[in-house]
Amino acid sequence: MTHLDVALIGAGGIARAHLPAWTALGARVRVYAPDGRAPALAAEFGQTAVASREEAMDGATVVDVCTPTDTHHEITLAAVAAGAHVLCEKPLALRAADAEDMAAAAAAAGLRLYPGHVVRFFPAYAMLHALVTGGALGRVAVARFTRTGRYPTWSPWFAEPARSGGILVDQMIHDMDIARWLFGEVVRVHAHQRGHLTAPAPEDAVATGTAVLTHTTGVITQIVGVWAPPATPFRTTFHIAGTGGTVRHDSLASPGLRIVGTADANAAAGIPVGDFGESPYATQIRELADAFAGGPEPRVGPADGVAAVRIAAAAADSARTGRAVELVTPPAPEGVPA
């Protein structure tokens, strides 16, 4: 992939998960971050740190946006204006209208925009998708997903709902995307959240969220998210029941797919690690890199990113008002792949 010239914007935990994958593909990467962390990260992987975002984007084939969520819209539009394809970390934006604007701008420019919904690339979830779409579980009636990890106190912006959206938007959007991938469009969302929801968050902060999604297919999905104290191991589970059988997964109970949190200062804080074979982040970036180079469309596209933001924003509205939110899915902007 030596023809890929990548501008990596941001040098936090998720950038640390992305940069090794780009490097392994042979991409030339210029790293920029306004917080001064770019030089150390770039040097660690033999890449180049630059002094400005404009310098990073100049001549880039791809811009990889690894910054706080409230900056995604503006940076993505700047990348598109610079003529680059975009990988933007989840969520694409805090508001559905901004996510739609990002997707439409990329489509109008003939560029590709992909959201970083990496859970689709974790082996257990990829296998679940194959089981459900292949009909092995028959007609699914109910599904339950949980996701538990330490409260992301290493970056204070996570505790600011105006910047991250809080646990419903930042963390639980992973399983909202998976639910839609498996069971179709979501037409109704009812959600609650509790716990510490303002910055600064203390080290022992806890926040929880629940969301019930109703799909056009009739499937009901329950999603539970937890941000917990630092010693809490990272854990994901799912339980899917259909007329043809039931499938369960617990990341802590599956030795081959063990996922644990890490507090290692040299690792990406809060990034799952485990015995995956190839890192899901590497799998994701390799598949997206092939698409950026003109190959087949990957398993996630701009319409998926927009839909996930729409569901998560509806969950936040529901939690705020105490009422269920009905969703009407608008048509994708012209030129945006479904």
pLDDT at residue 1, as a whole number? 44
Query: Could you tell me where the DSSP H helices lie in 241-334?
Result: 280-292, 302-321
pLDDT at residue 18, as a whole number? 98
Q: For 5-117, which CATH superfamily applies?
A: NAD(P)-binding Rossmann-like Domain (3.40.50.720)
* Tokens of residue 223, six digits: 């999603």
pLDDT at residue 278, as a whole number? 84
Query: Model pTM?
Result: 0.91
**Residues of the chain under the 70 pLDDT cut:** 1-2, 255-277, 329-338
Taking CB atoms within 8 Å and a gap of at least 24, the contacts of 40-49 are: 40/11, 41/11, 41/15, 41/16, 42/11, 45/19, 45/20, 47/8, 47/19, 47/23
pLDDT at residue 328, as a whole number? 82
* Tokens of residue 33, six digits: 């971050």
Domains in the chain: boundaries: 5-117, 119-300+306-321
pLDDT at residue 158, as a whole number? 95
Query: Could you tell me where the DSSP H helices lie in 152-252?
Result: 161-164, 166-170, 173-183
Kind of pairing between the strands at 62-65 and 140-150: unpaired
How many Cα atoms within 13 Å fall on the side-chain side of residue 58?
A: 7
Q: For 119-300+306-321, which CATH superfamily applies?
A: Dihydrodipicolinate Reductase; domain 2 (3.30.360.10)
* Tokens of residue 292, six digits: 């950026």
pLDDT at residue 206, as a whole number? 97
pLDDT at residue 267, as a whole number? 40
Strand extents, DSSP E, 122-244: 140-150, 186-195, 207-215, 220-228, 235-242
Residues 225, 146 contacting (CB under 8 angstroms): yes
* Tokens of residue 90, six digits: 């989840």
